[in-house]
Structure 1
Amino acid sequence: MRLRNLIILTVIVPLFVVLVVFSLVAIKSLEDNVRSKLQTEVDIITRALSTSLGYAVTRESSTPLEEALHSAFSFHRIYGAYVFDRQGREIYGLGLGKDLFSDEEIRAVIERDELMGDYRRQEGWTYYSALIPLRTPEGNIRGVIQVNRLNTGIENYTGFISLAAALVFVIGAGGIVFSIWWGFRRYIERPLTRLLGVMLLVEDGDRSQRAEIEGPLEYRRLASGLNGMLDAMAEKDADIEMRRHKEMELERRLRKSKKLAELGVLAAGVAHEIGAPLTVINGQAQRLSRREVIGDDERARLGRIRGEVERIVEIVRQLMDLGRQHNVEKDRQRLADIIDNARALVEETLDRHSIRLELDLPEPSPELLANKQQLVQVLTNLLSNAAQAGNVRRIRVHAHQHDEELRIWVEDDGPGIAKANHSQVFDPFFTTKPVGKGSGLGLSMVHRIINDHGGTIGVFDSLLGGAGFEIILPCSGVSPKLN
């Protein structure tokens, strides 16, 4: 059952029933009081007249009787007075209502020897008549006196008053019910319907819905509370989505780290086997170059062989470093000092290419538990790669610390890295540089160092237009947790 109908049935209807009963009882009491007063007045007048008429009937002349009856009309609303003998025949009378009682009823009054009153109708008029035996001064009953009073006052309208009161009550009750219905519909049902509509839309998945804050104070509070709950849900959903993306990114980086570790172990094994033959080749080439029997051309070629062997040896060393398990010695380091050292190492390269280095670091400088030399190597490698990308005029390094997590971004305005290559940039031997210009192990080494520090590194498209690298490191030296 709807709340509106429930309120009407349990509150309004019982209230109206009580009011109806109370009104009917009040009107009935008024009617009874008016009639009782009328009857009492007529009975008193009748008794008073019976005494004076008792003396009048003992005289032979009718004049005293006429005078006594005329005196009855001096009372308010007495419209008839009659004297009957013991047989019910009229002796003398004045006014209206002579035939209200039959001869038998008059004789019955004499027999009972007591006053009798009753309402009678005649010719469309309603009378209250009182009859009382007429006694002489000696106590003998000589007849009956009848006094008639016409209902022309409020007692004649008690029925009409009851009907009018009932009609007014019905109209008033209808107006009250309509007012309650209209007020309930406008100030209770409509706001509830709007709130329910918002809830249904939210249930269907539209979390952008918000309730209108209007109407009575209680509904404004309810709508405000609902909107606050929806805002909190939206904030929580955004936080959950952000965590999900962060977890996915971290999982991707962890898979990359595992892959690189496996490749590093494999590469280290291969490098170990290659190292010994390379040493022999380099030694033999050096001995041959010392002989005087060879010409300058052959000696130059042996020099080139030795140069390439040394490059291979350097690659082998890097491969062995990439696959070796490292116990990183860490101590408290200021980020500003690490970046200053890296900048000093690449300053000549930046000046040669007219590249502006922009630093945006928090103050005071954050501290982290790290190996300073290795982090300097990371930043030097990233800055050098940016400087060698071509058409680079700006490199920006900025950092931000949140709780126990330090984030460092290195960005440039160069040509950037193709989206398809983002997942490969940290793979060993992957490089976009021309042949002979890079081994493809620099970023792999960077990834290994960051991973040894319990952090992560990722690549993104910088807003400057080029490539961007994001480094996340724990300030305490403990791997950052998902949050």
Structure 2
Amino acid sequence: MRLRNIIIATVLTPLFLVLLVVSLVAIVSLEDNLRTKLQSEVQILSQAIGTSLGYALTQETPREAVQESLHAAFSFHRIYGAYVFDTRGDKVYGLGLGETLFAPEEIRAVAESGEELGEYRQHERWSYYSALVPLTTPGGEPRGVLQVNRLNTGVENYIGFLSLVALGAFLIAAVGIVAMIWWGFRRHIERPLERLLAVMERVGSGERQRRAEVEGPAEYRRLSLALNEMLDALAEKDADIEARRRKEIALERRLRKSRKLAELGVLAAGVAHELGAPLSVIDGQAQRLERRATDETQRRPLARIRGEVARIVTIVRQLMELGRRHNLELAPCRLDDLVRGAQALIEGGEAIEVDLPEPPPTLMGDEQQLTQVLTNLLHNARQASPEGRVRLSARVVDGALCLRVEDDGPGIPEAHQGRVFDPFFTTKPVGQGSGLGLAMAHRIVSDHGGSIILGDAELGGAAFDLTLPLDSET
């Protein structure tokens, strides 16, 4: 059941019923009071003139005496008929209206019983209240009966009609009040509730940014504000949950990547260990043959063999580093010292744009390994853009150091972006890269409790974002 119907059924209807009963009781009480007043007036007048009429009937000429007494009675207002009857019911004398309201038998019965009789009687188109009063001598001997007729006034005649009119007016007023209450409820209660409900339904259907309009009565403004605050709090919770979910996904990816690198590192370390001895033999034999060579034609192939062996040895060493579990030698490291150390190891490092906060922050880490990370990233950036711009920028956010290395080179194709930290993956030509630099950087940063991701470069090329904690809890 709707709220307005509940209010009408439980509040207005009982209220109107109570008012109707009270009104009917008031009308009935008014009618009874009018009738009682009418009866009292007739009884008082009858008793007032009854004594003189009883005495008049004892006179020698009762008609003249009765006539004189009745004329005196008509000096009272509201008397419309007065008649005197003997004990047999025959009229002695009378004046006014309503002579035939009572039959002779009724008159004789009053004379014999000595008790008064008062009734409402209808004669022709008039309504009367008529009383029969026994007339006695001072000694109590019945002499006749007095009939006094009182004609109902306009109010008394139309009391029933007025009751119907009052009832009709009450019903019309009740209907009007109900209509006004229904309209006011519809405009000021139901419509604002429907607007709030519509907002909640839209939010439930997915429009999370939908908010209620703060308007209307004070209660609805407070309700709208509370609803909006609740929706804002839910939106903040959803955003926090989404951020946590993304962090968990990123952490899971990092864990998978670290696990993969660790597994590959163990395998690579075993392979590197097995390749170390044969490579040493090959390099030694090539060196011995190179010394015995008599001309340049013989030395050139041997030198190439030794160069390739040296490259293999470098790769083997990197594989062993990748698979080895390092103990971090943590110490305070100034960021500007790390950057200068990396620049010094790169050809053209002085041309790199550096944007560091002032004063440069200090972090706890292994200086040698962190320098190796920056060297690899800056070296890759210089190779991607030999004559272009390379920029290293840093900022501190929520207790963490955020580093970005970017260039204006061609960037990394979208198809390769998910594999840049995989061992042996490289976009460089054969012989110019082993594909282990970024894998090593990822392992070192992870060992420091940080993260490294591929981002979007403002310069147009590739960008790598590093996040390292500034405290010592790694």
- TM-score, normalised to structure 2's length? 0.90
Task: State the number of aligned residues.
Answer: 472
Q: Distance in 2 between matches of 1:396 and 1:77?
A: 119
**Pairs within 5 Å for 1:293-372:** 294-299=294-299, 302-346=302-346, 349-351=348-350, 355-361=351-357, 365-372=360-367
What do residues 169-193 of structure 1 show as CA deviations (whole Å, max 9, x unaligned)?
A: 1112212222233333333333333
Encode CA deviations 1:373-423: one digit per residue, 9 max, x unaligned. Answer: 2112211221121122125324242333325x4432222222111111122
| Equivalent residue runs for 1:37-186 within 5 Å | 37-57=37-57, 58-60=59-61, 62-137=63-138, 139-186=140-187
Distance of 2:139 and 2:302 partners within structure 1: 180
Q: Distance in 2 between matches of 1:445 and 1:137?
A: 144
Distance 2:197 2:359 in 1: 52
Per-residue CA deviation, residues 255-303 of structure 1 (Å, 9 max, x unaligned), is 2222222222222223223333333343444444445x71345445544
Select which of 436, 442, 460 maps to 2:455.
460
Compared CA separation, residues 378 and 113, structure 1 to 2 (3 A): same
1: CA distance, partners of 2:261 / 2:246: 22
Output one character per residue of 1:135-160: Cα deviation in whole Å (capped at 9) or x when no partner.
34555432222111110143223212
Alignment-mate amino acid for residue 29 of structure 1: S
Contact (CA 8 Å) 2:392, 2:403: kept in 1 or not?
A: no
Gapped runs of 5+ residues in structure 1?
none
**Equivalent position of 1:444 in the other structure:** 439
**Within 2, Cα distance between the matches of 1:478 and 1:315?**
32
Pairwise mapping of residues 273-288 of structure 1 onto structure 2 (< 5 A)? 273-288=274-289
1:255 aligns to what?
A: 256
Residue 32 of structure 2 corresponds to: 32
Shift in Å at residue 241 of structure 1?
2.6
Instruction: Work out whether residues 366 and 401 of structure 1, in 8 Å CA contact, stay in contact via their aligned partners in 2.
Output: no
Q: Is the 8 A contact 1:454 1:477 kept in 2?
A: no
Cα 1:120–1:61 shift into 2, 3 Å: closer
CA distance in structure 2 between the aligned counterparts of 1:82 and 1:34, rounded to whole angstroms: 24
CA contact (8 A) 1:395 1:413 kept: no
Deviates more, 1:101-110 or 1:55-64: 55-64
Question: Is 1:401 the counterpart of 2:401 in the alignment?
Answer: no
CA contact (8 A) 1:399 1:409 kept: no
Kindly tell me: are residues 474 and 398 of structure 1, through their superposed partners in 2, closer, same or farther at Cα, counting changes over 3 Å?
closer
CA distance in 2, matches of 1:413, 1:222: 54
Name the structure 2 match of 1:2.
2
Alignment match of 1:384 (pick from 350, 373, 379): 379
Q: 1:470: Cα distance to partner?
A: 2.0
- Cα pair 1:212 1:223 within 8 Å, conserved: yes
For the residues of structure 1 that align with 2:435 and 2:97, how far apart are their CA atoms? Answer: 137
Q: Report whether the alignment pairs 1:375 with 2:374.
A: no
> C-alpha distance in 2, partners of 1:70/1:342?
142
Alpha-carbon shift at residue 105 of structure 1 (Å): 1.1
Q: Aligned in 2, Cα 1:169/1:465: closer, same or farther, shift over 3 Å?
A: same
Return closer, same or farther for 1:393/1:80 CA change in 2, 3 Å cut-off.
same
136-145 vs 254-263, which deviates more?
136-145
> Does the Cα contact within 8 Å between 1:396 and 1:412 map onto a contact in 2?
no
Q: Residue 454 of structure 1 aligns to a residue in which SS?
A: coil
Q: AA paired with 2:13?
A: V
**Distance in 2 (alpha carbons) for counterparts of 1:437 and 1:23:** 108
Aligned to 2:214: 213
SS at match of 2:80: strand
Q: What is the letter of the counterpart of residue 210 of structure 1? A: R
Are the aligned partners of 1:416 and 1:461 in contact in 2 as well (CA < 8 Å)?
Answer: no
Conservation of the 8 A alpha-carbon contact between 1:53 and 1:65: yes
Residue 419 in structure 1 maps to residue 420 in structure 2:
no
Identity of aligned residues (%): 62
The offset of 1:251, in angstroms, is: 2.0
Distance in 2 (alpha carbons) for counterparts of 1:137 and 1:271: 155
Moved more, 300-309 or 103-112: 300-309
Q: Deviations over 1:91-116 (max 9, x none)?
A: 11111111111111111111111332
1:455 to partner: Cα distance: 2.6
Residue type of the alignment partner of 2:423: P
Alpha-carbon distance between aligned partners in 2 of 1:112 and 1:135, rounded to the nearest angstrom: 12
More displaced stretch, 122-131 vs 382-391 = 382-391
2:410 match: secondary structure = coil
Q: Distance in 2 between matches of 1:334 and 1:401?
A: 17
Amino acid in structure 2 at the alignment position of 1:450:
V
TM-score for both structures, normalised by structure 1: 0.88
Separation of aligned partners in 1, 2:286 and 2:334: 47
Deviations 1:283-325 (A, max 9, x none): 444444445x713454455444444433333232222222222
CA distance in 1, matches of 2:156, 2:213: 60
1:388 aligns to what SS in structure 2? helix
Distance in structure 2 (CA, Å) of the matches to 1:46 and 1:150: 15
SS of 2:39's equivalent in the other structure is helix
Q: Would you say the 8 A contact 2:395–2:401 is kept in 1?
A: yes
Q: Offset at 1:168? A: 1.5
Distance 1:78 1:335 in 2: 124
1:16 maps to 16
Amino acid at match of 2:94: G
Equivalence map 1:215-254=2 (5 Å): 215-254=216-255
* Partner Cα distance (1:343, 1:64) in 2: 151
**Structure 2 counterpart of 1:323, one-letter code:** G
Q: Give 1:447 shift.
A: 1.7
- One-letter amino acid matched to 1:392: G
